[in-house]
Structure formats: C-alpha cells, structure tokens
Amino acid sequence: MTVRVRFAPSPTGFLHVGGARTALFNWLFARHEGGVFLLRVEDTDRARSSEEMTQAILDGLDWLGLSVDEGPFFQADGVVRHRADALALLERGAAYPCFCSADELASRREDAKRRGKGFGYDGRCRELAEGVARARVASGDPHALRFEVPAGGTAWEDLVHGRVAFDNGTLDDFIILRSDGTPVYNLAVVSDDLDGRITHVIRGDDHLSNTPKQILLYRALGRPCPEFGHVPLILGMDGKRLSKRHGAMSVLAYRDMGLLPDGMVNFLALLGWSPGDDREVLDREQLIDAFSVGRILKKGAVFDIEKLEWLNGRHIAAAPADALAPAILEIISDRAVRVGSTLRETHPGIDDRSRLLAVIDLVKDRPRTLPALADQAAPFFAAGIEYEQGAVDRFLRPPDEVAGILRVLGAGLDTHTGPWSGEDLERVIRGLAEELDIGAGRVINPLRVALMGQAVSPGIFEVAALMGRDRTRARIDSALGFLDAMAATA
C-alpha cells in the first residue's frame, strides 16, 4: 500500500503555526514512507474564502519547502460528487430528508435554552412515513439531508492517542446536505478523502469530535476508513491555547522576521514530536529519516519563541555563506534605501563576493536571525561607523584614557610590517598591552567598538585581519575623533 496523506487548509486565513505543523507532519510522514503528499484547499465556505488567503497558504508552504506531490485540489470543485455521495446514503437508508427550517431549529434551540436544557435534534423528520417524506420531496418542499446515527458506539485506534471511543448516543443525526444542495463539512471531507485515496489522516485534536461522524459515513458508504491520528494543540508559554499574543502569526511573518525555512521546519517538527533521542538541531533529511507518527506526543506542545530563535541561529551557523549572502545583501540594501541612498554608497566594496562570503563565514555563528547577521556583516563594509551607546558607555570611558590606548595601538599597527593575519595581529596587540602594563581586554574591547561599533563581535583579531589594514586604521582614527569630541564635552 502506498501511503497517501493530505493537508487540507481552509482559505479563510493565513497559514499559521498550527496549520504549518500539521502540513509538516503529513509531509514528513509521506517522505519517510515514500508516499504521496496531497494538498486540498477546503474552499466551500465561499463567503469567508478568498484567493488572497489561498495564495498566502501556497506561499507559506513554498517558503517552508513542503513540496506538494498532488494538487492543489479545491473542495468546491467536488460539489457534484459530494451530492452524489449524499444521495447514495439516502438510497441506502442511512440518511433521510429533514424539512425543519432554520427558523424552526433556532426556535427549538432557544426554547431548550430557556428551560436550561441542551439542544439536540430530536429526530422528528426521521419518524415521518417514507411515503410522506417522498411526497414532500416530490412537491418541492425545501429540505436538507440528515445522516441517521445508528445506536451503539464508534471506536478507532488513533495513531497518537490509542483507542478512542464515542457513544453514538451523544451524536445528533447530523446534516450532510443543506437545503440549497451544498454539502456540509463532514460529508465533503469523507468524499474528498475517498476520491484522493487517502490512507492516513493526520490532523489537530480540534478535529477529534468530527472523527466518529466521518467513520460512520465511511461505513455507511461501504468504504474502508483511513487511519486517523490527532495531534495535540500548540500552547503558549502560559499553557493556554496558542493565540496571536503568543506568536500564532502567519508563517510568512516569521520569514519576514529573518528566520530560515530550515530553522522554522526544525522548530515546528519538535512541537509535539521527538526524534527518540536528545537531538534538537536536525536538518530536513534527518527529520525525514527519524519521523514516525508513533513518536508524536499526546500532550500539548509549548510554543517557545526563544527556542525558535536559538534553533534558527544554529541553522544560520550551519548554512553555507553563499546561501546566506543574497538575504544579507537585500537587508543591507533595504536599509540604505530607507535613508535615501544606495548599497554601494553606504557599503562600498560589498560587491566583492569573496570578501562578503568570508565575512559571513566569520560572523554567522552568533546571530539568531538574518537581520542580526546583517548587523554583524555590515560594519565590515560601511562607509561610516555608528557606535552603540551601550558599547560606548561600557568600553570607551573615560574617553581621554581610552584615546591614549588607541593612539598607542594605532602607532603600533603602523609599524607592523608582518602579515596582516589574525595570528600576527593577536601577537602585536597583546604585546602592546604588555608594554602598557594593562590587561589585554583594555585594548581589545575599545578596538572592537572602534572597528564594529558594537560591544560584541567575532574574535577581534580575525575581524581586523578581514577588515584589512587601511580600513582598520581608518576606523581607529574615526574612534579617536569621536573620543576627542566626548572628552571636550565632558
């Protein structure tokens, strides 16, 4: 048997974190089993569906790299088949026409509410004589089709939760076809999954109550059921269901925040699933190899933005520089445009690709997002330098004393005739600190601020080596001018 799974979003909103994780679990299962991943857009709610949302879902899947084997199919295109399946249930005696109007049902619901009782359909149309019901249908009386829930219970072996059982007495006879001829969700889903030859349905726990109804429909149609697996919901850090305040945004919002698709995929995979060992940083192939439905956890998973950013940082560190370079250039270029300039004006020399790649390789271990990586790469090429106030307060005070250290350092570098390498620069700089009889940090930290404008950077010796002799000296001179201005206003 070839495994066939589907992701079936409704285009009434963006592809959010919960939907993306459902799509990912289905995709990983299909890839692990050598099966088929199908996309079906459930767009029968025409009033709330939109082409914009459909495209946003497709864009989200594309960014995540969840390639679709079949589809996208659109549920609205299957309405004729849905009706045929509903009529087949009527012919089999598993469904019956219901002539109760929406107003009548609303009135009964309100009456039950006034009496402090729950409302459930009382089955009155089921009791109509067959001849009476047929005559009313033939005369054109508006009617829906209701499925007749049999007595007993419905149970299945859930791929995540194990045995799950429902008492059929808790289920009303539910509508499968509205009076306007449009199908209701549960019928449409069953019909579509049969048409798509779906073997496994992996979806959120919020669909658990739909499953007994769908199993009953499969049985009444005389068709085998797929296997069902229901994934626990994603929770916020406060243990409540994930909402916008926790981070339940479109996955494309995380792209815009500077996350890598591989980082997002890694994080989503660990939301309620474990590889069976202590690994947390996994690439796509490792996820596919390790994935099994049996390792999906039964309890809700917590959305931790800190862990997401940490994992993303690990994927940035592992990514080749040439894969990161286009995004870094775009970010720095966009910043230049915002100040009314161009990339080459604000960052001359950044089009030297080999140097850009060397810079990215040097700085990529620490940042957790692409904008943070751009923050680390940009100073190597910037025409001017800006100093972070925190770095100034921490390492450039008192200004006259720091200026004296940097002047000695600048003079020492001017006389250095050896290779401009990290190893040689470390020897020179540490030697100057010894000559001044101060700790090396009192030279290194002001130099870091002078070169990068920041309190944190990769190894400063490697930074200076990659920045080059001329730019390093120019940055020290700029810092000296800044320090002299500080001292004058102190």
Please give the full DSSP string across 282-312, using - where no structure is assigned: --HHHHHHH--GGGB-SSPEE--HHHHHHHH
Residue 336: in which H helix or E strand, if any? helix 321-338
Number of C-beta neighbours around residue 424 at 10 A: 14
Model confidence pLDDT, tens digit, residues 273-310: 999 999 999 999 999 999 999 999 999 999 999 999 99
Render pLDDT for 167-222 as a digit per residue (tens, 0 to 9): 999 999 999 999 999 999 999 999 999 999 999 999 999 999 999 999 999 999 99
- Helix, strand or coil, per DSSP, at residue 164: strand
Q: Comparing 4-73+185-234 with 80-177, is the CATH topology the same?
A: no
Neighbours of 57 (CB within 10 A): 27
* Bridge partners of residue 234, in order along the sequence: 301
Residues of the chain with pLDDT under 70: 47, 117, 244-248
pLDDT of residue 246: 59
Q: Is 244 a catalytic residue?
A: yes
What is the C-alpha to C-alpha distance for residues 4 and 387, in angstroms, rounded to an integer? 56
Q: Are 196 and 4 spatial neighbours (Cβ–Cβ below 8 Å)?
A: yes
- 389-489: which CATH number, 1.10.10.10, 3.30.300.30, 3.40.50.920, 1.10.10.350? 1.10.10.350
Can you read off the two tokens belonging to residue 125? 């149309």
Choosing among 2.40.160.210, 3.40.190.10, 2.40.50.100, 3.40.50.620, the CATH entry for 4-73+185-234 is 3.40.50.620
Which helix (H) or strand (E) segment is 234 a member of?
Answer: strand 234-235
Residue 19's pLDDT is 95
pLDDT at residue 272, rounded to an integer: 95
Residue 6: which H helix or E strand, with range?
strand 4-7
Tell me which fold the domain 80-177 belongs to: Glutamyl-tRNA Synthetase; domain 3 (3.90.800)
- Count of H-run helices and E-run strands, the chain: 21, 12
Q: Which of 117, 244, 298, 307 is catalytic?
A: 244
| CATH number of the domain located at residue range(s) 251-318 in this protein | 1.10.1160.10
Q: What is the pLDDT of residue 112?
A: 73
165 forms beta bridges with 155
| Through-space distance between the first and last CA atoms of the chain, rounded to whole angstroms | 79
Number of C-beta neighbours around residue 262 at 10 A: 23
The helix, strand and coil proportions of the chain, stated in percent and rounded to the nearest 5, come to 55, 10, 35
Cβ-contact 406, 414 below 8 angstroms: no
Say if CB 205 and CB 231 are below 8 A apart: yes
Domain boundaries along the sequence of the chain: 4-73+185-234, 80-177, 251-318, 321-380, 389-489
The confidence score (pLDDT) of residue 275 equals 96
Q: What would the two tokens of residue 411 be?
A: 């003079």
Rounded to whole angstroms, how far apart are CA atoms 218 and 228? 13
Question: Which pLDDT value is given to residue 114?
Answer: 79
Query: Whole-prediction pTM value?
Result: 0.92
> Is residue 66 a contact partner of residue 38, using CB atoms and an 8 Å limit?
no
Distance CA 147, CA 93 (A): 9
